[in-house]
């Protein structure tokens, strides 16, 4: 059966196109992530990824928050602060090569013009305890890597980070923020106004040592994730959830 004409890759060259995207990762000996969502085309993209050696690592909820009626942020614990920062504040000592390179990459990503990446830091009594990142896409903004150190969880810090990103996304002119939610964070996102709109599958090639300047999920995964959501929200209209 001939696929729709609106496919991201021409159907006749799909296998070759996946190989071409994978090739630089093989040359640099880094893993490659690919997110498959409801608008990913062609419909057998997952089969083509599998044929190239990718494996599906996780299925999760694709969630979205409409920013038209954004509520008030939750109260912060005493002594805590949420800030937009140019240089991310490490939550853990930069004692390994991987941590150092991830930190360098995240810092560089926020400096590329035009700016598309914003990092937020949560501190408690001056100590970095949480972080998250906002990436801007064609029609929506993406929320990535919400993390709070375990001993500081259940204090509202994660919720405050999420609300800071939502407010900044609205300030940038976006009407929706999207994310891929694991089971642990889904309840936090739901309380912030996110609702499940689709299911996402995260595919990965290789177990090779990570030598990239940034975390792969922030580099190769982000574009595919925006494609998975983008068309769905390209002509978004306000509606009750």
Mean pLDDT over each residue of the chain, to the nearest integer: 81
DSSP secondary structure of 53-66: T-EEEEEEEEEEEE
The residue among 210 and 27 whose pLDDT is bigger is 27
* Pairing state between β 141-148 and 55-66: unpaired
- Residues β-bridged to residue 150: none
The neighbour count for residue 25, using CB atoms within 10 Å, is 18
Q: What is the pTM of this model?
A: 0.76
Q: Write the burial class of residue 240 (CB in 10 Å: 0-12 exposed, 13-18 middle, 19+ buried).
A: exposed
* pLDDT computed for residue 229 by the predictor: 43
In contact, 37 and 43? CB cutoff 8 Å = no
In contact, 133 and 221? CB cutoff 8 Å = no
Residue 148 DSSP symbol: E
Helix axes 183-191, 157-171, angle to 10 degrees: 60
pLDDT tens column, 85-127? 999 999 999 999 989 999 999 999 999 999 999 999 999 999 9
Per-residue pLDDT, averaged over 26-46, amounts to 86
pLDDT tens column, 163-175? 999 999 999 999 9
d(CA 33, CA 211): 14
């Amino acid at each position: 059966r001939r696929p729709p004409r609106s496919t991201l890759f021409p159907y006749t060259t799909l296998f070759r196109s996946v190989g071409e995207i994978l090739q630089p990762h093989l040359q640099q000996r880094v893993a490659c992530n690919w997110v498959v969502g409801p608008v990913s085309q062609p419909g057998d993209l997952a089969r083509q990824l599998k044929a190239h050696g990718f494996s599906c690592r996780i299925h999760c909820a694709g969630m979205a928050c409409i920013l038209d009626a954004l509520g008030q942020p939750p109260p912060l614990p005493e002594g805590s602060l949420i800030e937009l920062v140019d240089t991310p504040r490490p939550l853990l000592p930069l004692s390994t090569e991987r941590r150092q390179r991830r930190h360098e990459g995240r810092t560089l990503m926020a400096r590329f013009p035009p700016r598309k990446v914003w990092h937020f830091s949560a501190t408690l009594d001056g100590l970095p305890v949480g972080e998250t990142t906002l990436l801007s896409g064609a029609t929506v903004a993406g929320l990535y890597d919400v993390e709070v150190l375990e001993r500081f969880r259940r204090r509202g810090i994660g919720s405050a980070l999420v609300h800071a990103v939502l407010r900044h996304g609205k300030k940038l002119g976006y009407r929706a923020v999207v994310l891929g939610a694991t089971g642990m964070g889904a309840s936090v996102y739901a309380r912030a106004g996110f609702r499940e709109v689709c299911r996402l599958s995260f595919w990965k090639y290789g177990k090779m040592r990570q030598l990239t300047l940034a975390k792969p999920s922030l580099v190769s995964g982000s574009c595919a994730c925006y494609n998975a959501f983008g068309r769905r929200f390209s002509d978004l209209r306000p509606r009750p959830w």
